[in-house]
Amino acid sequence: MDHPPSTPVPASHQDILVDRPTGHLATIRPDGRLSVNPVSLLWDGEHVRFSTVKSRQKYRNLVADPRCAISVPHRNNPNRYVELRGVAELQDDTDRRFIDAIARHYMGVDVYPFDPPGAQRVTVTIHAEQVSAPEIPLADDSPGAPD
């Protein structure tokens, strides 16, 4: 499936995505209810990508309905965030290249160590149709934000 170019993330919020963020992914369950799960992600300057295994509900939700949204708060200041709404593209990660890239970025190890034997990994690419990156009062001086 061909996707139009993703809506760009404003330069003012790109720092959130190049750090080590935790995104909160919303998918649509078979009964129509929403499900939200945390995910570690990588951003290549255009797309947010994350990894999951085929045994997870979020994978089954995205196979059935690729519409999704992800909110990514700044790691140390949750008043600053970026939200992407769009559709997910799923691609098998048979050589584990992508999950190992996440392991290097987040954990400083070359091989992702937590999958059980036989786990089938998938790389999920979000094609953003809409991006929200609001300027929030106190975003630069969050009360109580950790150092």
Ordered by where they begin, the domains of the chain are: 11-132 (2.30.110.10)
pLDDT band at 146 (very low <50, low <70, confident <90, very high): low
Of 89, 85, 87, the closest CA to residue 133 belongs to: 85
pTM, full prediction: 0.91
- How do residues 42-101 score in pLDDT, each as one tens digit? 999 999 999 999 999 999 999 999 999 999 999 988 889 999 999 999 999 999 999 999
Q: Which residues contact 48 (CB under 8 A, 6 or more apart)?
A: 17, 23, 41, 42, 70, 72, 84, 125, 126, 128
**Is pLDDT of 2 > 90?**
no
